Structure 1
Amino acid sequence: MDLYQFSSFWIDFAGGMLKPVASTAVVAVAVALSFSQNLDLQAEMIYATARCFLQLSLVGFFLHFIFSQKTAAWILLPYLFMVLVAGHTAGHRARLVPRGKWIAAASILAGTWATMSLPIALKIVPFSPQYFVPVAGMMVGHAMAVTGVAMKQFHEDIRIERNLVETALALGATPRRATIQQAKRALVVALSPDLDSVKTVGLITLPGTMTGLIMAGASPVEAIQLQIVVTNMLVGACVLSSALSTYLCLLVFFTGAHQLNHKAFAAH
């Protein structure tokens, strides 16, 4: 990027930020309402808004640089960063699961990459930063949510039904067989909100991908076609990531002798 391009970028950025800055007037109204009603949410609102502004601005700078790169390493870098952050977040939700952050990160990585590989191989989604990074972000975000819930629910159900699980193990069942009902229940709880959203997509709210394309001037038909592709990928990523997480949890929930690891279910 030469000096002229650098200067033009900053001029365009400064001009484009006028609207986001002006939109904070809505937040000011909310802050005033909180103050008048003694809700004590003013500081949190201001902090959240400022953090959002800063984070998105930094992400914008980073993506502006990434989008100008052509090598696969630069395209994959944001994806791997998102997976690490998602693994940390999902693992924190399931913090009672030993090594939960690593299990979540591995599950999200495998689930989302497996889901993206086929559309890329079939050239449905181009392997370019403009397409890959936003789509990967959506899939990682959804996979993070369902994986964290699945792991937490799986751990809780085994803890509650510990006697049933140990009885099944004593009768010769494998750890997976002994916990199949708990795993099914955890996956149903985790996946139901996303599956319900898929059933009502377009009827209650217009999805983000479709809305963004339409606002950018794309044909609604083209926007719908891409949204269908993205929605199918989201379903695949969520199911694969959450299911894999329950398998990986067995490695820390049970010992090598197929006995329940009581340390994993000790009171905290």
Structure 2
Amino acid sequence: MNLAVNGLSLTFAVSLVFVALIISFHEKIGLEKDMLISVGRAIVQLIIVGYLLKFIFQINHVWITLAMMLIIIFNAAANARKRASTLRHAFGISLIAILTSTGVTLGLLVLSGAIKFVPSQIIPITGMIASNSMVAIGLSYRSMLTQFKDQRQAVLERLALGASLKQASIAIVRESIKTGMSPTIDSAKTVGLVSLPGMMSGLIFAGVDPVKAIMYQILVTFMLLSATSLGSVIACYLAYHSFYNDREQLIDL
């Protein structure tokens, strides 16, 4: 099956953006500037990445593939760090969490023979894993910041009663991990019933047998569950220490 995307079809797609702009303007939401910037960035970034991936796929070199993977993970960590507000060491924590979750998940997939270590498979899968880990970690950070602020008195009371930093923070850590994983879990619950995921739909559009497309989607679903759980757990258990100073006192937020 051949899909024809031409200038006319892209023009119609752009018209959908204007619908969102009109709604934002009419309802005085104030997102017009952000929408235009995001659309402009998306176009430029996707064009650059498209040509870059075409070049990398043709070369098929291990070190270039690894470099592209690291660039993806680095950018994911930088974006996750933005959700951490003033949290100390947020970039380093995000980088460790995303690198570990992506590396472990990819390693298992390659060792099991589910995917091959070739650019056309490794780079897109890396992007899927890293982006989902990034979102999960960002949500976890936001949850931790909110809870440490709202439950400040309760945490101080636990510390005053002799609790360790982990004992005083564990309830917040667990709730933050749960918050980070919730979107992926909810997506897994409704996959196929509410949504037809992009990978499965793309394979079906390309003419792949729907049963095989579903098998790949099951693989992706399990992969993302694994990655987001690893990323959220690592990030939260490393990040909660940043809410205390060197004297093990809760800092002001």
User: Deviation of residue 145 (structure 1)?
Assistant: 0.7
1:195 matched to 2:185: yes
The TM-score with structure 2 as length reference comes to 0.86
Structure 2: 5+ residue stretches without partners:
none
1:111–1:241 CA contact under 8 A, matched in 2: yes
1:260 matched to 2:249: yes
User: Deviation of residue 47 (structure 1)?
Assistant: 4.4
Q: Among residues 61, 65, 69, which one is paired with 2:55 in the alignment? A: 65
Supply the distance in 1 between the matched residues of 2:153 and 2:14 (Cα, whole angstroms): 57
Supply the distance in 1 between the matched residues of 2:188 and 2:245 (Cα, whole angstroms): 38
Which range moves more in the overlay, 50-59 or 134-143? 50-59
Letter aligned with residue 73 of structure 2: V
* Number of residue equivalences: 249
The share of aligned pairs that are identical, in percent, is 29
Letter aligned with residue 74 of structure 1: I
Q: Among residues 7, 18, 27, which one is paired with 2:7 in the alignment? A: 18
Q: Among residues 19, 29, 36, which one is paired with 1:30 in the alignment? A: 19
Letter aligned with residue 240 of structure 1: L
User: Deviation of residue 87 (structure 1)?
Assistant: 1.1
Supply the distance in 1 between the matched residues of 2:236 and 2:17 (Cα, whole angstroms): 44
Matched residue SS, 1:126? coil
| CA-to-aligned-CA distance 1:111-143 (integer Å, 9 cap, x gap) | 121121111111111111111111111111111
Which range moves more in the overlay, 244-253 or 163-172? 163-172
Supply the distance in 1 between the matched residues of 2:173 and 2:69 (Cα, whole angstroms): 28
2:25–2:32 CA contact under 8 A, matched in 1: no
2:133–2:227 CA contact under 8 A, matched in 1: yes
Q: Which has the larger radius of gyration?
A: 1
Supply the distance in 1 between the matched residues of 2:21 and 2:214 (Cα, whole angstroms): 40
Tell me which residue corresponds to 1:180. 170
Tell me which residue corresponds to 2:99. 109
2:180–2:228 CA contact under 8 A, matched in 1: no
Structure 1: 5+ residue stretches without partners:
1-14
Supply the distance in 1 between the matched residues of 2:18 and 2:158 (Cα, whole angstroms): 59
Change over 3 Å in CA distance of 1:43–1:72 after alignment to 2: same
Change over 3 Å in CA distance of 1:119–1:25 after alignment to 2: closer
Please give the residue correspondences for 1:25-174 in structure 2 after superposition, counting only pairs within 5 Å: 26-27=15-16, 30=19, 33=22, 45-174=35-164
1:69–1:75 CA contact under 8 A, matched in 2: no
Matched residue SS, 1:124? coil
Change over 3 Å in CA distance of 1:130–1:99 after alignment to 2: same
1:66–1:74 CA contact under 8 A, matched in 2: yes
Letter aligned with residue 99 of structure 1: H
1:224 matched to 2:214: yes
The TM-score with structure 1 as length reference comes to 0.82
Letter aligned with residue 242 of structure 1: S
Tell me which residue corresponds to 1:9. none
Supply the distance in 1 between the matched residues of 2:74 and 2:218 (Cα, whole angstroms): 27
2:156–2:250 CA contact under 8 A, matched in 1: no
Letter aligned with residue 159 of structure 1: K
Matched residue SS, 1:147? helix
